[in-house]
A and B are shown apart, each in its own frame.
Chain A
């Protein structure tokens, strides 16, 4: 009974031969000369047997077989492959879904095998499908064919594994080849895709763009670039159209590149850049980025434009445009480039109106992949106000410190005054209390002396009165020293004071033949001191010296000179000198080398106390028989009490 047979072969002779053969046998034969045509027909035709030529342009026989096997209405079809390269290439036709395979040899052999196949197809036994390629032994191996096939294999591997999609459409725009990557991209199954018009894989705006591009005769080579991609199945793709001349006419190969990820990354970078730009713009401080070679400005915010000299014309809407060199100073850039680390400096700028402003310049490096400084960030903070405030703070701190120092000195003086005042009060009180009883004793003794009394009694009374005088002297000495007047500090001219004091004693000194020699320094500064107390010192020293000189060339020598932060007074006499064993004690209260009753022993103690009050030092140099030198140091300015060292000098 006649079968419906469909033959697909691009060789017209083979088609005619087989068609004739089969029609003669009463079968219904339809033909197609390529895969596209075949698929077209097969859409609505369900033959019993299909012959497919393996080697065909555009859609290959292999492809066609697979597609046929996937078509639901062709499930039971008996599929035969006609292979012209059976001798050169192994073929597992069963894997392709074919039931048999004939090696294309000469026409008569071919006819024979075809007839055989028809028989096979007729028989209900489907297990009897031959495993071998029929007529294989009748064909010879061709070298060129083998080489070509080998080459094709390489390309098949490449095409099958590359990530770009490769698609080919014929002159009639129908898709004739799709590689696996393209299939994924397009998202349409191969059997439907093959034969579809190329533009139809797109939709919406992309469809319009592609259609327009294909129609446009002008642009060559045609392409849709990554900068302006089209949408394909939800992905952004670029397209490259490559015309190729082939067996079936001119076709076009399309390379499809999925640029979605790249586009997304670019968009993210753009977004980040916009964000950074906004951020940098929002900074109130001048902010610039320069390249590290010539310090050309790469980026500047509007603050920088406004405030930095020379950047006024910088076109801030064109980032990356080299517009001008960075403003001075260049030291931050140099240091950052050299040291490869951040740098901070203060910079004073002269304004156009002559005003000075101080800025803190911060510079930071940006490194390239080799670790070199490729760019430098710089921003400036105006710290003029801060500096002013700091200076004001320092000034007020200095002023406060000064005030504090003055206050402390004044306090010390006040404390001294109070101490002396209270001592004075006490001393006065005590003196008064002691003098009154002495007064009574003395008066009574004097009254007794008015009586007629024996000489011995008179003598005793004289002695009593003498002792009363002695006690009075001591009491008065103490009282004089702790006088009720305050410790009044004034600048004192020591020379003038000594002269005045010496004048008081002139009479007595002349009587005793004591000569006073003065060796005054020319430029002796005045010293802060209590004049009365210093006068007491001179009085006591002169008195002491006079008492020490009993005979010979009696001289008192006074020498003055400035020393360190004060003055030195050397007070010498040509008297009897002091024993080495007694030198340490001469400043002790009540110590005296004079006969009892002569002298109170308080004179030098008072001198020492007064010197101590004035934060000075005193020492004595003396040898027995060689007179004595009192060396006194007094500071020009009275310091705080704690700063006074010991009064006993070395």
Chain B
């Protein structure tokens, strides 16, 4: 059996994580979930997922901090930032920090799957 691609979903809203997980599993990905930055880093270290969706506004370690730390831990990680925040020059900023894509909440699942498959295409 082909090894499933691991995706890590990071968001402080557990309900969102769970619904995203069910969607991603339907698509055939192994989905891991973290509801805070610390936990997310642990999972990245241990599980080395290929893809990560990342919320910015989280209590404790926020998304920006995670971005920076994760680059050192796992430079090949494909990071999709999923956030309700909208500020000017955000894309530039995230790009500079090493994120690969930016999706705004409320998330359009079609867009999400397009973005994932855009990247995964490399892997296949």
Q: Interface on A for B, CB 8 Å cutoff?
A: 428, 431-432, 435-436, 438-444, 446-447, 450, 468-469, 472, 476, 479-480, 483-485, 532
Among A431, A440, A469, A484, the residue within 8 A (CB) of B19 is A440
Interface of A is mostly: helix
Q: With the chains together, A532 CA to B89 CA distance in Å?
A: 13
17 A-B contact pairs sorted by A residue (CB < 8 Å) = A432-B85, A435-B84, A436-B16, A438-B105, A439-B84, A439-B107, A441-B106, A443-B20, A443-B106, A443-B107, A444-B15, A447-B22, A447-B23, A450-B23, A468-B106, A476-B86, A532-B88
- Distance in angstroms from B87 CB to nearest chain A CB is 6
How many angstroms between the C-alpha atoms of A530 and B88 in the bound complex?
A: 15
Query: In the bound complex, how far is the Cα of B23 from the Cα of A440, in angstroms?
Result: 13
Contacting pair A436 B13 (CB below 8 A)? yes
State the 6 A-B residue pairs at the shortest beta-carbon distance, nearest first: A435-B84, A439-B105, A442-B106, A439-B106, A446-B109, A443-B19
Q: Is B2 an interface residue (CB 8 A)?
A: no
Residue among B13, B84, B106, B108 having the largest count of chain A Cβ atoms under 10 Å: B106
Please tell me if the beta carbons of B105 and A435 are within 8 angstroms of each other in the complex. Answer: yes
Q: Which residue of the partner chain, among B13, B22, B26, B108, contacts A440 with CB atoms under 8 Å?
A: B13
Nearest to B55 among chain A residues (CB) is: A436
Cα of A447 to Cα of B19 in the assembled complex, Å: 7
> Which of A431, A442, A450, A483 meets B107, CB within 8 Å?
A442
Contacting residue for A435 out of B20, B106, B108, CB 8 A: B106
Most B C-beta atoms less than 10 A away, residue of A447, A468, A479: A447
CB neighbours (8 Å) of A428 from chain B are 85
Cα distance A486–B88 in the bound complex, in angstroms: 12
Residues of A within 8 Å of B71, CB to CB, are none
Question: Which residues 14-32 in B have Cβ within 8 Å of A in the complex?
Answer: 15-16, 19-20, 22-23, 26
- Asked if B86 and A439 sit within 8 Å, CB to CB, the answer is no
Whether the pair B26, A450 counts as a contact (CB closer than 8 A) is yes
B57 contacts A by Cβ under 8 Å = yes
- Bound Cα distance A484, B108 (Å): 25
Query: CB-nearest residue of chain B relative to A485?
Result: B88
Q: Which residues of the other chain, B, contact A435 by a CB distance below 8 angstroms? A: 84, 105-106
Q: Quick check: A443 and B109 within 8 Å, CB to CB?
A: yes
Q: Known interface pairs A432-B57, A443-B19. Does A484 touch B106 (Cβ–Cβ under 8 Å)? A: no
Q: Kindly count the residue-residue contacts between A and B in the assembled complex, taking CB atoms under 8 Å apart.
A: 57
State in angstroms the CA–CA spacing of A435 and B82 once bound together: 12
Is A447 a contact of B105 with CB atoms below 8 Å?
no
B: residues with CB less than 8 A from A are 13, 15-16, 19-20, 22-23, 26, 57, 84-88, 105-109
Residues on the A chain within 8 Å of B84, using CB = 431-432, 435-436, 439
Closest to A468 in B: B106
- Distance between Cα atoms of A484 and B90 in the complex (Å): 12
A438 to B107 Cα, complex, angstroms? 9
Query: Could you tell me the distance between the alpha carbons of A468 and B109 in the complex, rounded to whole angstroms?
Result: 14
Closest partner residue, chain B, to A475 (CB atom): B84
In whole angstroms, how far apart are the Cα atoms of A438 and B19 in the complex?
13
Residue in contact with A472 in the complex, picked from B26, B106, B109, CB distance below 8 Å: B106
Partner of B88, one of A432, A447, A483: A483
Question: CA A484 – CA B106 in complex, angstroms?
Answer: 20
Other A-B pairs, 8, CB within 8 Å; known A440-B16, A446-B109, A485-B88: A432-B84, A440-B13, A443-B109, A450-B23, A469-B106, A480-B86, A483-B87, A483-B88
Give min CB distance, B12 to chain A, whole Å: 9
Q: How far is the CB of A220 from chain B (nearest CB, A)?
A: 126
Q: Whole-angstrom distance between the alpha carbons of A480 and B26 in the complex?
A: 35
B16 to chain A, nearest CB (A): 5
Of all chain A residues, the one with the shortest Cβ separation from B16 is A440
CA distance A442 to B84 in the complex (A): 13
Q: How far is the CA of A213 from the CA of B86 in the complex (A)?
A: 129
CB distance from B35 to the nearest CB of A (A): 13
A7 vs B69: C-alpha distance when bound (angstroms): 165
Contact residues in B for A483 (Cβ distance below 8 Å): 87-88
> Shortest CB–CB separation between residue A356 and chain B, in angstroms?
61
Interchain nearest-CB distance for B116 vs A (Å): 15
Q: How far, in whole Å, are A480 and B90 apart by their CA atoms in the complex?
A: 13
Measured between beta carbons, the chain B residues less than 8 angstroms from A442 are: 106-107
B21 to chain A, nearest CB (A): 10
Q: How far is the CA of A480 from the CA of B87 in the complex (A)?
A: 8
| Given A436-B105, A468-B106, A479 contacting B86 (CB threshold 8 A) | yes
- Do the beta carbons of B109 and A447 come within 8 Å of each other? yes
Q: How far is the CA of A447 from the CA of B86 in the complex (A)?
A: 25
Q: Which of A435, A443, A450 has the most CB of B within 10 A?
A: A443
For the complex, give the distance between the alpha carbons of A558 and B74 in Å: 54
Complex: A439 Cα to B86 Cα, angstroms? 14
Task: Report the Cα distance A428→B56, complex, angstroms.
Answer: 14
Hey, which chain A residues are within 8 Å of B15, CB to CB?
Answer: 440, 444
The answer to whether B23 touches A446 (Cβ under 8 A) is: yes
Instruction: Indicate if the CB atoms of A443 and B88 lie closer than 8 Å.
Output: no
Chain B positions within 8 Å of A468 at CB level: 106
A27 → chain B closest CB, angstroms: 162
Cα distance, A249 to B18, chains bound together (Å): 166
Residues of A contacting B16 in the complex (Cβ-Cβ under 8 angstroms): 436, 439-440, 443
Q: Give the docked Cα–Cα distance between A461 and B120 (Å).
A: 29
